[in-house]
A and B are shown apart, each in its own frame.
Chain A
Amino acid sequence: MLDRDEDILKAAEDWHKAGRGVALATVVETWGSAPRPAGSSLVINDEGTFLGSVSGGCVEGAVVTEAMDVIESGKPKMLEFGVADETAWNVGLSCGGTIRVFVEKVG
């Protein structure tokens, strides 16, 4: 069974209730061929457990790392990933697209 957005958001709420630090990452913009459309989300907790996806798996690792900072600081971040963006991030999208991901703390 594929993770649906509702399960992801339910997990965000459940994890927060269980006392975990939680961040939500959402694809807010895509250019070119991006694997997941705007609105797709990934929920991450402070143990590094995550559910959902913002790409086909290409940038989730980097998003999880950034999410840890966001959980710590409470300040939202806008991340951008793309094939031509190697200076900013060491990861890119193999499909050649670019995505922007908004990462925010829950609660």
Chain B
Amino acid sequence: MKLAILHELNTERAARRPVILVTDTESGEQRLVKAADFAKDPLRAELDKQLRMGKSANVEAGGKKLFFNVYAPTAKLVIVGAVHISQALAPLARSLGYDVTVVDPRTAFASPERFPDVPLVAEWPDTALPPLNVDAYTAFVAVTHDPKIDDPALLHAFERNCFYIGALGSRKTHAKRGDRLRAQGARDSDIARIHAPIGLAIGAVSPSEIAVAIMAEITAVLRLPPKEEAA
């Protein structure tokens, strides 16, 4: 690999921009294709497909055997609510490779004693969230149970097009939340994006089990093809 390509690859990854490294496995020739340049690439269909799946693979094109190495940004997890569940969720998500941040304006909750080694932001969502650069490679969970904190956080998650948005609460709680968010300008399609009740239905009881259910659901959304295509 040419040093210039390696350097560019590291730069793009640091900036959380997806790229695919295309290698001709016979000649060793390589080129780096940025997602922003896919549209004008002769291999755009193949590039799009592999990035969507987040999977590196061999592709035959124009009589050449090519290897597409897909570099999608490291997924982030933003947890709004420094609650008991979050104490289990944060280390679990980190072990799965996520960059985790916990946000909670209530300093009694967002304390380093309760969250050793986890980046904590003890501010209201309006202040805490913008600097976190929440993006399409971010999973976002709101678990405070307090509408004053969860609602503005969820509105931010809609705006930033997070790949996963989850919120704690029963169906009844969630219906009320939907009404409140709509009153603040959220669309039905935004509300429909919220996974609530949060987590896969595995009968989770303890905070750790709920954390497993949440991470299982996030993993499924990240890795499985979108539902309309799965059919």
| A residues in contact (CB < 8 Å) with B | 2, 4-6, 9-10, 12-13, 16, 24, 26, 28-29, 37-39, 75-76, 78, 102, 104-107
Contact = CB atoms under 8 A, between A and B. Distances in A.
Contacts of B10: 6, 9-10, 13
B3 A13 contact: yes
A78 B25 contact: yes
A107 B6 CA distance: 9
17 contacts: A5-B71, A6-B13, A6-B14, A9-B9, A12-B1, A12-B6, A16-B3, A26-B69, A28-B56, A28-B67, A38-B67, A38-B69, A39-B56, A104-B28, A106-B3, A107-B2, A107-B3
A104 B3 CA distance: 12
Query: Which 7 interchain pairs have the tightest Cβ spacing?
Result: A39-B56, A76-B28, A38-B56, A28-B67, A107-B3, A39-B69, A6-B13
Interface residues of B, number: 23
B97 A9 contact: no
Interface of B: 1-3, 6-7, 9-10, 13-14, 23, 25, 28, 55-58, 67, 69-71, 74, 95, 97
B25 A106 contact: no
Among A2, A24, A29, A76, max chain B CB count under 10 A is at A76
Given A37-B55, A76-B28, A106-B6, 13 more contacts: A4-B97, A9-B10, A13-B6, A26-B23, A28-B56, A38-B56, A38-B57, A39-B56, A39-B70, A102-B67, A104-B23, A107-B3, A107-B6
